[in-house]
């Protein structure tokens, strides 16, 4: 029996106070709807249906590459009406699981018992017991504990409002049953909406068993209506990721001060200080030590690398035993061979830095290759851009570039060549040569300093 997931995402989310549709607001760098779809797609063989309304085009565009059947609900007439929009595309013999684009932390394991109940011909319902159930639909059970109905808060009696077990909205049922029930919904209630929750009483009347299940933690079923709730879930989610890292042996100086927006893969004996942000796909090798306040995006960091504080590293490949920072910037295409060092206020772009080479202070190396064990003195700049074209600089192994040199590309500096400090290099320097390209020093003796006129 195939599984069709229907994710509701048509609501406006006015309390976000944003032009962006609510489900495109991000949690850990990914739209909330993306989290839900990832979980839904982890249910093997599930076909995906998403009901959209407000901001439909933006949502479709954001998920252009995801295999989803979009159903448009142009007017939001309630959750029952929303699910009905997806049903025509779903075959009668499948099972439907209803999820929500603004409930991003739901886990796969929590959904499995619901799907199993529906596959057995029953209705699986996810409920949660809350200390303060205000606002939610209440789960009404009979004397023997069987669920009879869900009553929305606004329609509930004083006695029903005492019930602390509430509806999460997440349920699973046979598609044929939903196709039979949904057309019978009425909007004759406090909100004038077609409530999905009314199918519970219909299922009971049709002799189905209502199989309830609760999530491990209430955060899993928490919906996001405003930015405060989104920020709350972000911290909960980040803490889960941090805990997972620590269980895998990573030393985190403070698990509350770490942000992972993507996937972070780690080796053994890694330590990460406070305030680090990892974005996209990041891999850290064994024995990596990362100091405080670093941003690392879509990069690979090899074994034994040490990163001091305040580095900005993007699309870089850093081989083993390199040393970075403090305050180093690696831009896309920075490739460091093992043992290379890039120090404070250095920027490396689209360049290969050879084994053991040093770029330690205040340099810009762009469109260049730096040979093994070369030493790039403080303030060295590769002048790679003439205002129109980018050109390359090749620096040989063992070269020594004196401080504050400008290497005007295209230019080649040979193996073991030396450049005198303060040089502007415009012509190639051969292997082993010394190049000095600067004004000659003159010393004037007996020089009298100017005196102040009165």
Query: Active-site residues: which are they?
Result: 361
- Which x/- pattern over 25-64 shows residues binding ligand UD1 (rule: CB under 6 A)? --------------------------x-------------
By the rule CB under 6 A, 196 interacts with ligand UD1: yes
* Lookup: tokens for 241: 């990721």
Q: Choose the binding region for ligand UD1 from 40-48, 73-81, 119-127, 428-436 (rule: CB under 6 A).
A: 73-81
Give least dist CB 96 to ligand UD1, A: 15
In the complex with ligand UD1, the residue whose CB is nearer, 13 or 366, is 13
Residues constituting the chain = 454
Which residue lies nearer to ligand UD1 by CB, 211 or 282?
Answer: 211
Instruction: Evaluate the omega torsion of the peptide bond into residue 410 and state whether it is cis, within 30 degrees of 0.
Output: yes
* Residue with smaller CB distance to ligand UD1, 222 or 394: 222
Q: Shortest distance, CB of residue 175 to ligand UD1, whole angstroms?
A: 18
Record the tokens describing residue 358, joined without a space: 């040093």
Q: Is 11 an interacting residue with respect to ligand UD1 (CB under 6 A)?
A: yes
In this complex, which beta carbon is closest to ligand UD1, that of residue 10 or of residue 365? 10
Work out the burial of residue 287: count CB atoms within 10 Å of its CB; fewer than 13 is exposed, 13-18 middle, 19 or more buried: middle
Categorise residue 81: left if φ over 0, alpha if ψ from -120 to 50, beta otherwise.
alpha
> Is there binding between residue 210 and ligand UD1 (CB under 6 A)?
no
Three-class SS state of 105: coil
Assess 366 for contact with ligand UD1 (CB under 6 A): no
Burial of 62 (0-12, 13-18, 19+ CB in 10 A): middle
Tell me how far apart the alpha carbons of residues 51 and 81 are, in angstroms, rounded to a whole number: 10
- Pick 170 or 376: Cβ nearer ligand UD1: 170
Kindly report each contact of residues 14-19 with a partner whose C-beta sits within 8 Å and lies 24 or more positions away, as own/partner: 15/225, 15/226, 16/225, 16/226, 16/227, 16/230, 17/226, 17/227
* Cβ neighbourhood burial of 331 (10 Å; 0-12, 13-18, 19+): middle
| CB 71, min distance to ligand UD1, A | 10
- Give 134-159 as a DSSP string: TTSPEEEE-TTS-EEEEE-GGG--TT
Please tell me whether residue 78 binds ligand UD1 under the rule CB under 6 A: yes
Other Cβ atoms less than 10 A from the Cβ of 159: the count is 9
The least CB distance from residue 70 to ligand UD1, in Å, is 12
Q: How far is the CB of 112 from ligand UD1 (least distance, A)?
A: 20
Distance CA 339, CA 75 (A): 61
Of 226 and 306, CB closest to ligand UD1: 226
Is 139 or 381 the residue whose CB approaches ligand UD1 more closely? Answer: 139
Smaller CB separation from ligand UD1, 161 or 390: 161
Number of shown-chain residues binding ligand UD1 (CB under 6 A): 27
77 near ligand UD1, rule: CB under 6 A: yes
Report the phi/psi class of residue 402: left, alpha or beta, with left for phi > 0 and alpha for psi in -120 to 50. beta
Per-residue interface string for the shown chain with ligand UD1, residues 81-120, x marking contact by CB under 6 A: xx-----------------xxx------------------
Nearest to 323 by CA among 299, 288, 350: 288
Q: How far is the CB of 253 from ligand UD1 (least distance, A)?
A: 37
Q: Which two tokens stand for residue 173?
A: 């049922």
> Look-up: residue for tokens 């890694």?
270
Taking residues 146 to 175 in sequence order and writing x for each that binds ligand UD1 by CB under 6 A, - otherwise, the string is: ----x-x-------------xxxx------
Nearest distance from residue 237's CB to ligand UD1, in Å?
A: 18
Residue 420 binds ligand UD1 (CB under 6 A):
no
Site for ligand UD1 contains 79 (CB under 6 A): yes
| 197 lies in the binding site for ligand UD1 (CB under 6 A) | yes
Q: How far is the CB of 165 from ligand UD1 (least distance, A)?
A: 10
CB of 56 to ligand UD1, least distance (A): 11
Q: Which residue has tokens 């090749």?
A: 394
With CB under 6 A as the contact rule, which of the stretches 64-72, 193-201, 257-265, 389-397 interacts with ligand UD1? 193-201
For ligand UD1, the closer of residues 33 and 296 by Cβ is 33
* 277: enclosing H helix or E strand: strand 276-284
3-class DSSP state of 382: strand
Rg for the chain (alpha carbons), in Å?
A: 31
User: Are 141 and 125 in contact, with CB atoms under 8 Å apart?
Assistant: no
Binding interface with ligand UD1 (CB under 6 A): 8-11, 51, 73, 76-79, 81-82, 100-102, 136-137, 150, 152, 166-169, 195-197, 223
């Amino acid at each position: 029996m195939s599984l069709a997931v229907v994710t509701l995402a048509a609501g406006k989310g006015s309390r976000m106070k944003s032009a962006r549709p609510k489900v495109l607001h991000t949690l850990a760098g990914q739209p909330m709807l993306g989290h839900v779809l990832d979980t839904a797609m982890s249910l093997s063989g599930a076909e995906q249906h998403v009901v959209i309304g407000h901001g439909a085009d933006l949502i479709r565009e954001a998920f252009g590459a995801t295999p989803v059947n979009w159903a448009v609900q142009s007017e939001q007439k309630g959750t029952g009406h929303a699910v009905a929009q997806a049903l025509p595309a779903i075959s009668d013999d499948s099972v439907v699981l209803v999820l929500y684009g603004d409930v991003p932390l739901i886990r796969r394991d929590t959904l499995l018992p619901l799907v199993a109940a529906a596959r057995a011909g029953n209705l699986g319902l996810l409920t949660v017991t809350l200390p303060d159930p205000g606002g939610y639909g209440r789960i009404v059970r009979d004397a023997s504990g069987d669920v009879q109905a869900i009553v929305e808060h606004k329609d509930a009696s004083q006695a029903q409002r005492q019930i602390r077990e509430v509806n999460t909205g997440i349920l699973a049922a046979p598609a044929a049953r939903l196709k039979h029930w949904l057309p019978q919904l009425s909007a004759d209630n406090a909100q004038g909406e077609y409530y999905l929750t009314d199918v519970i009483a219909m299922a009971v009347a049709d002799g189905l068993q209502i199989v309830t299940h609760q999530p491990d933690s209430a955060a899993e079923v928490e919906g996001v209506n405003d930015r405060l709730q989104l920020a709350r879930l972000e911290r909960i989610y980040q803490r889960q990721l941090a805990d997972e890292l620590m269980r895998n042996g990573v030393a985190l100086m403070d698990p509350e001060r770490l942000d992972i927006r993507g996937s972070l893969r780690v080796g053994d004996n890694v330590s990460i200080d406070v305030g680090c942000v990892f974005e996209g796909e990041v891999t850290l090798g064994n024995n990596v030590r990362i100091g405080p306040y670093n941003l690392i995006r879509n990069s690979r960091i090899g074994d034994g690398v040490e990163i001091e504080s305040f580095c900005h590293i993007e699309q870089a490949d850093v081989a083993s035993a390199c040393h970075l920072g403090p305050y180093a910037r690696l831009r896309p295409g920075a490739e460091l061979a093992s043992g290379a060092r890039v120090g404070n206020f250095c920027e490396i772009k689209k360049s290969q830095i050879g084994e053991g080479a040093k770029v330690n202070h205040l340099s810009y190396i762009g469109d260049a290759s730096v040979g093994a064990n070369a030493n790039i003195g403080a303030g060295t700049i590769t002048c790679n851009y003439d205002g129109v074209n980018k050109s390359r600089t090749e620096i040989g192994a063992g070269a020594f570039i004196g401080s504050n040199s400008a290497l005007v590309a295209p230019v080649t500096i040979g193996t073991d060549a030396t450049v005198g400090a303060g040089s502007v290099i415009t012509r190639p320097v051969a292997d082993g040569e010394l190049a000095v390209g600067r004004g000659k020093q003159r010393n004037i003796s007996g020089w009298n300093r100017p005196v102040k006129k009165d």
